[in-house]
Amino acid sequence: MSGLEELLQSKVLVATTDGRIFVGTLRGFDQMCNIILEHTVEREFNAQRGVVIVALGLYIIKGENIAVVGSVDPEIDESMDLSQIMCDPLPKIAV
């Protein structure tokens, strides 16, 4: 589980098994991959309206629901106009 150590205190993007995307600061994790995210926002992808950003705050996400945790490159992230990205959400992962 050393994989998440290097992402601590940085801005991360979390894809969950139900196909949702959360972005926040990684404040903690454990062996089960449960994670603590601060200043979390959800990015709701939508084929008609572009990405909707929903502010959520402090979140704990249970490890079993996590698919991918990625470190966000701030330069690329800030250069993107999310409201112009029209696409369906990521597919769900069947359990």
**45 belongs to the binding site for other proteins (CB under 8 A):** yes
Over the range 9-19, which residues count as b (16 or more CB within 10 Å of their CB) and which as e?
Answer: eebbbbbbeee
**67 belongs to the binding site for other proteins (CB under 8 A):** yes
**36 belongs to the binding site for other proteins (CB under 8 A):** no
Residues 92 and 62: beta-carbon distance below 8 Å? no
Footprint of other proteins (CB under 8 A): 1-4, 6-7, 13, 15, 17, 19, 21, 33, 43, 45, 63-64, 66-73, 76-77, 80, 85, 87, 89-94
